[in-house]
Structure 1
Amino acid sequence: MRILHVLDHGLPLQSGYTFRTRAILKAQQARGWQVAAVTGPRYQPGGVAVEHIDGIDFHRTPALAKLPPVLTELHEIHAFSRRVAQVADAFQPDIIHAHSPVIDALAAMRVARARRTPLVYEIRAFWEDAAVGNGTGTEGSLRYKAIRALETWAVRRADAVSVICEGLRRDLVSRGIPAEKIMVSPNGVDLSLFGEPPAPDLALAESLGIANAEVIGFIGSFYDYEGLDDLIAAMPMLVAQRPAAHLVLVGGGPMEAALRAQAEASPVARHIHFVGRVPHGEVERYYSLIDVLAYPRKDMRLTDLVTPLKPLEAMAQRRLVAASNVGGHRELIRDGETGTLFAAGDPAAIAAALAGLLADRGSWEARRVRGRAFVESERNWAVNVGRYEPVYRKLTGGGVSPGSWLRPPVSA
């Protein structure tokens, strides 16, 4: 089996998107399948045509000059499609597997139609909702509706669709997409990357001023939807109950300046520590210091539909997890068993949940064991990747109906 993956971006960039991609491709290679990847024109790691990283060939699409809105996207689709076609001519894939955003599916669709190669479209989040989540879009706007309609059109014409969670599957079914066309390939982790948790880095703890502290931590990107402002707002109430509690925030992003200003104005400012971005190889040192990983995502369409990767990575490393009770978290966390859930957008509820967890140290080890066992049995990529095989086999054995590509997009 030869699978060509069409991606927005890839390694060596470090992100949840690239970690999932790497896990899928490495697990497919471990099954004996041949894989290659093409990344889009928006991602330029250095101007090279091909990079061989971690045993995977990443073919790059040249950068493009900026044009007015809409024309830019059309130009990108055309150029990306041309690059995918070049790689497909050399690689001769049995399956073209495009990953969101929808612009990738549209570029891959042209090539799949021309080659009569089956197309699988994998959706990790809806592009229009992701734009709302990161502050570059508005729900219900004309652009939002147009992208949603285009997404629906692309899903209807792909030969099979993969989504990362039940929330996305239910949304597509509500749009009239046949349920049997959609497979769920949930977020998972490559357990080969996670050995025994490292011993606490005492020197690092001393340097941060958190030696002997009860440490709440967040490691990731600082987007508004992550709810870190609610977590900072909870800290005075948490410290009132647990005077040794400290918050460590590792990462950066659009909300960083606002969050730093909020923390500086907090009456417990000395209990809140910003580390900034750190090299990926250094992240484990910070994990070693954190007692509870907190994920206080806000309640909105994006977080209700999409499951994040970070809580699974934390469980794989036998860390305690506390998160808001949005839909994406409820698919991952069993309250009181593998983690703790609290009301989204409610600093008092966050403080109460964290205080209760910090006070119940006797339950920690059992929760860590259950969290790790959940990942091993249900969210391990060595197992998860097998979900693709029956879809791939059906498509390569049954062929493609070319008529499905020919109808123009309609509003949804």
Structure 2
Amino acid sequence: MHILFLTDNFPPEVNAPASRTFEHCREWVRLGHSVTVITCAPNFPQGRVFEGYRNRLWSRETMAGIEVIRVWTYITANEGFLKRTLDYVSFFVAAVPASLFVRDVDIIVGTSPQLFTACAACAAGFIKRRPYVFELRDLWPESIRAVGAMQASFVLDRLEALELFLYRRAAHIVSVTNAFRRNLVGRGIPAEKISITMNGADLARFQPRPRDEELAAELGLQGKVVVGYVGTHGMAHALGTILRAAERLQARAEAKEIHFLFLGDGAQKKALISEAAERKLANVFFVDSVPREDVVRYWTLVDISIIHLKRTELFETVIPSKLFECMAMGIPILHGVAGESAELVTRENVGLVFEPEDDAALANHIIKLAHDPALRRQLSQGCIAASRAYDRTALAQEMLETLKRTCGQTVAHPAGAMSARHP
């Protein structure tokens, strides 16, 4: 089977969509299938093309057996609705023609969160008469409303109409959470058209490791209890909550050994650094994004991981992918996201849950874990045991079976033509 996968995030970018797509595609190639990825020049989240790449009209490379086609897009930092939309639309405009040059395709996958990769997959599927699958990673554009990035309801209403069209037009939808599936079913999408392939972690890469003492010394973290946030610093994450908790702890004598490590980039990074300076937080350290192969070194420094999103009903439907990396590394989690992911944390006994944006509760939980090594060991053991159910290799195989079934279905086209393709 030849799978054409459209995504605007791919390694060497290190965010969750890039990692999931790469790890799934790598496994499909290992199992004997052909995979072509259409993406753009790596630039997320700073909006600068990575060293060694250029924003060309067309370039090609092979990565772990995956054929990767990179197309020109309008590149901007992940900030400002208009600029980001131009970025997304430019990918659609470039990816559809690029897909026409990929031959002998059996099935086409477009991944969210933004809709225009799915738009490109839908258009390519129609032109090539092949089934298109929508991989649903986020309820976009509802998430734009949730973080307050845009209030223009007319534009968002039109985008939501497009969203529903893409769901209806898809031969199948692969959702990363049960809550997303329930949302779609409630909006009239047939339940049998939606399957679940959750996020997970590459257990060969993310596993318990000794602390990297050389790196700890370099960052001045020897002898510290390190509380870590690793990931995108965006509007959705409300990371000011962590800074307020750090300020609370800085004033407490029993928290002198606790230090906060922020690793990553995003639209709010500069503002967070400024806020930390204004609050005179000597217990907070910021590190820019590091190459994918170095991320695990930084995870080894973290004694307690924080996962946090803004308090909004929409985010009760998401399960942040870094949760599974923390579990695989055996790192106890302080989880400030309500809903399905909080239920998972409690059920699997991998961490403590607090209400989103409640810095006082977060500070108290940090003190509790920092002063209770036995509890940390218990939660760490729960993490390692639970992570086996979220092995990316097994999940990639699960999604592959869904693609095979979809590929074997007869697919109707709006013009009335019919096409059948079997793996």
Q: Report the TM-score range of the alignment, normalised by the length of the smaller protein.
A: 0.7 to 0.9
Distance 2:146 2:66 in 1: 31
**Structure 2: gaps of 5 or more residues:** 44-48, 77-81, 418-423
Percent pairwise identity: 26
Question: What is the CA RMSD across the aligned residues, in angstroms?
Answer: 2.8
Distance 2:263 2:72 in 1: 33
Deviates more, 1:392-401 or 1:149-158: 392-401
Distance 2:285 2:86 in 1: 44
CA distance change for structure 1 residues 178 and 404 in 2, over 3 Å: closer, same or farther? farther
Question: Is the CA contact 2:228–2:304 (under 8 Å) kept in the aligned structure 1?
Answer: yes
Find out whether 1:62 has 2:72 as its counterpart.
yes
Name the aligned partner's letter for residue 173 of structure 2. V
Find out whether 1:253 has 2:266 as its counterpart.
yes
Three-state SS of the structure 1 residue aligned to 2:141 is helix
- The CA deviation at 1:334 is 2.0
Distance 1:249 1:369 in 2: 24
2:95 to 72, 80, 83: 80
CA distance change for structure 1 residues 76 and 221 in 2, over 3 Å: closer, same or farther? closer
TM, length-normalised to structure 2: 0.85
- The CA deviation at 1:303 is 2.5
Distance 2:75 2:370 in 1: 53
Deviates more, 1:245-254 or 1:393-402: 393-402
Find out whether 1:51 has 2:61 as its counterpart.
yes
Distance 1:93 1:360 in 2: 55
Three-state SS of the structure 2 residue aligned to 1:57 is strand
Note the alpha carbon deviations across 1:322-355, whole angstroms, 9 max, x for none: 1114225325412681111111111111111111
Deviates more, 1:6-15 or 1:169-178: 6-15
1:212 aligned partner: 223
Question: Is the CA contact 1:298–1:326 (under 8 Å) kept in the aligned structure 2?
Answer: no
1:230 to 237, 241, 265: 241
2:8 aligned partner: 8
Tell me the number of residue pairs that the alignment of Structure 1 and Structure 2 aligns. Answer: 398
2:161 aligned partner: 149
CA distance change for structure 1 residues 247 and 30 in 2, over 3 Å: closer, same or farther? same
- The CA deviation at 1:156 is 0.5
Note the alpha carbon deviations across 1:364-411, whole angstroms, 9 max, x for none: 22321221221212x1122112332443333333311224889xxxxx
2:411 aligned partner: 400
1:341 to 347, 350, 353: 353
Name the aligned partner's letter for residue 92 of structure 2. I
**Structure 1: gaps of 5 or more residues:** 407-412
1:114 aligned partner: 127
Residues 1-400 of structure 1 aligned to structure 2 (within 5 Å) = 1-39=1-39, 45-46=53-54, 47=56, 48-63=58-73, 77-87=92-102, 90=103, 92-100=104-112, 101-132=114-145, 136-138=149-151, 141-197=153-209, 199-239=210-250, 240=252, 241-266=254-279, 269-327=281-339, 329-330=341-342, 332-334=344-346, 337-377=349-389, 379-400=390-411
Question: Is the CA contact 2:228–2:262 (under 8 Å) kept in the aligned structure 1?
Answer: yes
CA distance change for structure 1 residues 289 and 390 in 2, over 3 Å: closer, same or farther? closer
CA distance change for structure 1 residues 372 and 400 in 2, over 3 Å: closer, same or farther? same
Three-state SS of the structure 1 residue aligned to 2:282 is helix
Note the alpha carbon deviations across 1:223-250, whole angstroms, 9 max, x for none: 1321221111012333424332111112
Distance 2:415 2:352 in 1: 45
Distance 2:87 2:277 in 1: 41
2:79 aligned partner: none
Deviates more, 1:229-238 or 1:32-41: 32-41
- The CA deviation at 1:38 is 1.2
Distance 2:135 2:288 in 1: 32
Question: Is the CA contact 1:221–1:252 (under 8 Å) kept in the aligned structure 2?
Answer: yes
Question: Is the CA contact 2:38–2:70 (under 8 Å) kept in the aligned structure 1?
Answer: yes
Three-state SS of the structure 2 residue aligned to 1:37 is strand
Question: Is the CA contact 1:222–1:251 (under 8 Å) kept in the aligned structure 2?
Answer: yes
Distance 2:400 2:64 in 1: 23
Question: Is the CA contact 1:312–1:332 (under 8 Å) kept in the aligned structure 2?
Answer: no
Note the alpha carbon deviations across 1:45-96, whole angstroms, 9 max, x for none: 4225211123211112234699x99998767534421211211xx2x12211
Distance 1:334 1:16 in 2: 23
TM, length-normalised to structure 1: 0.87
1:409 aligned partner: none
CA distance change for structure 1 residues 30 and 149 in 2, over 3 Å: closer, same or farther? same
Name the aligned partner's letter for residue 54 of structure 1. A
